[in-house]
Homo-oligomer: A and B are copies of this chain.
Amino acid sequence: MATKQNIEEGLEFIPKFDDNGLMPAIAQDAKTGEVLMAAYMNREALDLTIRTGYATYFSRARQKLWKKGEESGHAQKVEQILVDCDQDCLVLKVTVDAGQCHVGYQSCFYRALKKRSDKELEFIAEKAYNPEEVYKK
């Protein structure tokens, strides 16, 4: 039963999807701890991820299941799935190859807000691959 106590301190996995049937999932490099990307899963994406051992998300833009790497080859092998206290967010510890972001970087988080600025970014990473070679136009 999904009581607060069970959700927060229990051993039953009771994932809570939002009104759109989605929950956020954060992919973290199992080896380096780097946060690679954040995306959403619906129930089916989560089930496929658990069953296949490779991350599948739900694309809100395209409104369809999206197996990470289906186009780029940069798949995510899921080593562990963590869930947060209220069971409405996941962290996937994943093993990956070089280049996870479609822009060409290892992580989608390749820019940071500059110190003492609220508008200006700076790059904090270098490209890991050439996306033009991977995503055939």
Q: Which residues of A contact B (CB under 8 A)?
A: 8-13, 24, 26, 28, 32-35, 37-38, 47, 50-51, 80-86, 89, 91, 101-103, 105, 108-113, 117-124
Contact = CB atoms under 8 A, between A and B. Distances in A.
A80 B24 contact: no
Contacts of A85: 101-103, 105, 108, 110
A89 B86 CA distance: 20
Nearest to A14: B119
Given A109-B82, A112-B81, A11 B122 contact: yes
B121 A10 contact: yes
Contacts of A86: 108
A15 B101 CA distance: 18
